[in-house]
Every structure is written in C-alpha cells, then in structure tokens.
Amino acid sequence: MYGIFFRINSADNILKTIYNNVNLRKFEWYNIPEQTESYGIPMYTTLFNQKYYSGSDFSKCISKKHFIVFLKLQAYLDLENFKEIVTLDDFSKSKCKLILLIYDCEYVEVYAKDKNIIQSVYSNAINNNFSNIKLLKDFGITRQTFCIL
C-alpha cells in the first residue's frame, strides 16, 4: 500500500487537480455521506448528492467548480464487494483500490494499492505547488483509522 499527504492551496476544482492524469473512469466511487461536506460553486449547491458514482459520472461531477470542507471517497473496480473502510487492515483486505480523505478544507491524504496512482497524485501536488508533500509507504503510514470526523 502507498500513500501521500499534502496541504492544498485554494483551487476551484481541487479533486480534478488532484486526480489529473489518473484514469478515474475505470473505478466505481463510493461517497461516505456522513463524512462529506462539499459544495459546488456557486456555494451551497450540492457537489455529491449520491452515495455511488460510475467513473464517468464521478469525472463529470468533479469537473464542476467545487469547495470541500471534508470528504471521504473510496474507489473500487466494481461496487459489488464494497464496504466502508475504517482501518488500515480493512483497506489491505478489501477490494477497495483507493481512498481519498480531505479534512479542514486543506489537508489531503490519498491511499492506493497501485503505486502509479500515488506517483500521478504526487506529480500533480508538485506541479500545483501544494505544500508539506509526504510520500508514505506501508511502515510510514501511521493513520489508525480512515475516519475524518
């Protein structure tokens, strides 16, 4: 498992910026509603109004201007075997391929089972002048749970 942590600066399409050059359409996306506070711009329009998104629907959704207070998303190749991931052990044993956590409007963590995804997110973080960028790998991952509240 691989991970990355960084702090974002202001961006209207932060998810699109983070995932630039990542094939989002190959995944099915599970939005954890209890751990989501995100808005479309103009403010107070709902960004995520569903629990599940196909890859193409997710890509369309994040192409809209948006602002995120906190967010937890999980990506699967298919949603047949999905479940909310709570611990690192849950993630390693699950069919979940990627977890995104954003909290306090600026802190981002991405965990993936595919090193190439993390490398793309890392490149995007560098190219967009995000700060405090840290690559994490197995033993360097200290997060005990994937809950952001």
pLDDT of residue 41: 83
Q: Which residues contact 4 (CB under 8 A, 6 or more apart)?
A: 108, 109, 110, 118, 121, 122, 125, 133, 134, 135, 136
Q: 149 in a domain, yes or no?
A: no
State the Cα torsion 124-130-135-141 to the nearest 10°. Answer: -120
pLDDT of residue 11: 67
Residue range(s) defining the domain that contains residue 23: 2-140
**pTM higher than the cut 0.85:** yes
What residues pair up with 28 in beta bridges, in sequence order? 76
Q: 145 in a domain, yes or no?
A: no
Domain count, the chain: 1
Cα(42)–Cα(53) distance, integer angstroms: 22
Q: 118 in a domain, yes or no?
A: yes
> Can you list the residues of the chain whose pLDDT is less than 70?
10-11, 43, 138-141
Q: 103 in a domain, yes or no?
A: yes
Q: 52 in a domain, yes or no?
A: yes
Q: 148 in a domain, yes or no?
A: no
